Amino acid sequence: MSRRRTTLLALTGLTATALAAAPPSAAAVEPVPEKQPLAIGTGGAVAAVDPDATRVGLDVLAAGGNAADAAVAAAAALGVTEPYSAGIGGGGFFVYYEAATGEVSAIDGRETAPLAMGAGAFLDEAGDALPFAEAVQSGLSVGTPGTPLTWARALEEFGTLSLAEALEGGIRLADEGFVVDETFRQQTADNEEKFRLFQPTAELFLPDGALPEVGSVFRNPDLAGTYEVLAGKGVEAIYTGELAEEIVETVQDPPEAAGAAEVRPGLLEPVDLARYDAPMREPTRIDYRGLEIYGMAPPSSGGSTVGEALNILERFPLSSMADVPVLHSYLEASALAFADRNAYVGDPAYSQVPLAQLLSDEFAAERACAVDPVAALDKPTAAGSPDGEYGPCPAEDGPTAGEGAEGLSTTHLTVGDAAGNIASYTLTIEATGGSGITVPGRGFILNNELTDFTFKAADPTRPEPNLPAPGKRPRSSMSPTIVLDDGNPVLALGSPGGSTIITTVLQTLVNRIDRNLDLAEAIAAPRASQRNSPTPDAEPAFIELYGGDLGALGHEFVPVAELGAATGVEYLPGGLLLAAAEPERRGGGSAGVVQDVTGDVGPDDPQLAPELGQN
């Protein structure tokens, strides 16, 4: 059975896509359609983890909406079918290329800490960091949600639909339901202990006290009702209206189930929601092999870390190198960039982030000195000094900072329309299942994003950019990315996976640009993730292919089942679009186009992987 589900009823205006048609009536529920990780065609493209979300986005494109409209509509659908990874109780980052202006913009929908939160919020009475699980499943972990205002701002700035129109597909999906598959059941099982702590969560996601059965229909009329409130009253309902009051009450007094242990209350107050903003941010930009790579600026570390690593890699002729030296260079550049990320990146409103220097060619050249082509660095390696004074390779004298803990949940969707507009949108409630706290009667789980803060400084003598503070946004690794060529759209991509998001996006870009794999191959290729650790993570297939040769250079891998779950869209010659998603990871993704011509393009067709940039 495929990774996700299909709705019971077809949404209006179904398009010709790579996805199977919805059932003709509520009485004739058909099997879940097989998802396709690759689609090629015209009219617009959507790639997501879920076929329902992909279809909702494609319907919007087919009806004349643009990439921003389709991204918001697809995200609302993901709030229904991916409730443990995303939803209006969380936040995210929205990066957008507007074809009419040629500009790339970004919306910061990251959650914020309550004004009552101080640097010691996650410390116990003895000054020690709280156990991570205890912090997660508590009101203390919940920040002000940013997703609702992100949707409203994206539509206001770039879209053509109203919020009510964009929510139509999500409302119908929540009301009519979807068919549960093995992965949804397994994710519920993985969270069962946490969900049973909270009465409304157990009632919603453990119907009749049991895990949802594969093949059963899962409906969320409470969420449909919440979406209808937003459609009728706007997102003000969440920030200053009736929903705001309910969110605050739930965070301050989490609704524990009968007999469950009491969890820590949160600090959120009405003022925290009322003052929330999802500001426009200047995206990061670097030039790499003749291409312009745009990403998310702080408080995300995605754009700075991916960008710095690519700048380091540009010092090496990767396109003329064999696979093992390319991957060795990738791992080393990632470790160096992560060392700098951990030491210097946080919310720019609370610390001086040397972003321009981190992304400068001169700093990258100095950092590239540390890459030995025949031996891996000892790790963790110290950060560099992005101080504007660069010369021959310096001795390492920067701080060594810890990475912190980030949940591996999150989801990413990528949309491109026929006019060339692109949305690259990563959204999350943090850990799979978030805080575990569902707002009673509202159908959505609240985030645990504040556990992305560093609980306790590793070295009290050095500044720690990611400690909690009133109103602060925790550092993120989300890396929605857009690539242009002389101002024209080329591709966009992103991934879930906590801090491995950065390495997934980085490795996929190296695969596509330097190794000249097509986008589907670049996403499917086995992965390793070096985040300045003595023992980087790697998938079994990566270890099987490269572990021996890379081990001889000093890389010692820890096997993990999978890393990330990327989606992407690429603009091909001849007016075609290619949508790509995972073939296997997280059960596989869902790629679709408005008008499909996938069968007319062979797997070895050279237009699938045109040369990018100047290698």
Q: How many CA atoms lie within 13 A of 294 on its CB side?
A: 29
Strands (E), 372-480: 411-417, 422-428
d(CA 55, CA 131): 41
Which residues are CB-neighbours of 564 under 8 A, at least 6 positions away? 495, 496, 497, 500, 501, 503, 504, 527, 585
Q: Strands 481-485 and 558-559: what pairing? A: unpaired
Which residues are CB-neighbours of 570 under 8 A, at least 6 positions away? 490, 491, 519, 577, 578, 580
Copy the structure tokens of residue 563: 């890393």
d(CA 342, CA 2): 38
Question: Is residue 299 reached through a cis peptide bond, with omega within 30 degrees of 0 on the bond before it?
Answer: yes
Copy the structure tokens of residue 564: 């990330």
Contact 450, 142 (CB under 8 A): yes
Question: What angle (nearest 5°) sits at the alpha carbon of residue 388, between those of residues 110 and 107?
Answer: 20
Contact 31, 204 (CB under 8 A): no
d(CA 11, CA 70): 14
Residue 504 a catalytic site member: no
Q: Backbone phi, then psi, for 193, in 5-degree steps?
A: -60, -45
d(CA 111, CA 118): 16
d(CA 537, CA 502): 13
**What is the distance between the terminal CA atoms of the chain, rounded to a whole angstrom?**
42
Instruction: Determine which helix (DSSP H) or strand (DSSP E) holds 338, and give its type and residue range.
Output: helix 323-344
Copy the structure tokens of residue 270: 């009405």
| Other Cβ atoms closer than 10 A to 236 | 15
Instruction: Determine which helix (DSSP H) or strand (DSSP E) holds 326, and give its type and residue range.
Output: helix 323-344
d(CA 221, CA 118): 38
Candidates 410, 428, 454, 567; catalytic one:
410
Which residues are CB-neighbours of 405 under 8 A, at least 6 positions away? 132, 451, 452
State the amino acid at position 261 in one-letter form: A
Q: Of 244, 60, 65, nearest to 170 (Cα)?
A: 60
Which residues are CB-neighbours of 151 under 8 A, at least 6 positions away? 72, 75, 76, 163, 166, 235
Q: CA separation (Å) from 121 to 117, 135, 453, 456?
A: 6, 10, 10, 10
| Residue 573 per-residue DSSP state | G
d(CA 141, CA 263): 11
Active site positions, annotated: 410
